[in-house]
Structure 1
């Protein structure tokens, strides 16, 4: 015995179209069809695009965005978000994956290395190194520190080098040097 079927359309619990299913004719009531749970005899509109899904609110069909199923990356902090069906993709996210192993990057129309942020980070690190070197030499210029006057004068010159270190062009491209290395270069 062959069963008669009729096309129906399956919906998920949120009202989004899942796909086409077959409703089987009832053997006890010819002309009546048994619908799978969540299915309706409601034909959807024929055309919708990628990243769109069909939704029926019980009255009308609507085309809603569908960015579900793949990761999207925040354009500023690179955090990953997975959108759900019907959720709008705002301008803060892109489907383009950020660069691997690169901390300093920004998104324009693609991910690029943010050279300015990278340089600022390097400057911050080198300022800390320079400040540590200044702190290490503080004791040598105290009036009661037992040190020969000529060596004390060298420490004062070295400290001046450290203070003016950040005022030269491209200073962040080389590390500040230790007192011993500075003294040997003099």
Structure 2
């Protein structure tokens, strides 16, 4: 496993640079929380009855990246990766067959796609697709803000999961 380099977001930047910086910081934080653990540890649930795992969080964030950037912002036909209508929480459910290598590669592919989509847009550009939560389009600014919130919330979960697994703590 590689060492994750987390870069602090700029303190005196324009809005776009700041949003890009905070989103990348939170992406890096999730990778950092998973660093150095075995596949078995990454599949370790928090505490019964919860089945929440670090690997499940990464799977979930791959689907969140895909949903907001590819389906909503770009209007692509990109079905969910890890869940469906019959199992809406499938992204969180991991099995012994799920590995860090595959999960990380899938997540990074979705992050790369998100970056490519966002690179050609302004913060005021409206989404081509829609989300089930609203018939109205979203601007890229809203999506960035939502993604930062989504990662920040789940990084709190990741912090608790990591502490339970091996006692490691940190922001």
- Whichever structure has more strand as a proportion of its residues is 1
In our comparison, the structure showing a higher alpha carbon Rg is 1
Per the normalisation by structure 2, the TM-score is 0.28
TM-score, length basis structure 1: 0.26
Report which of the two has the higher share of helix.
2
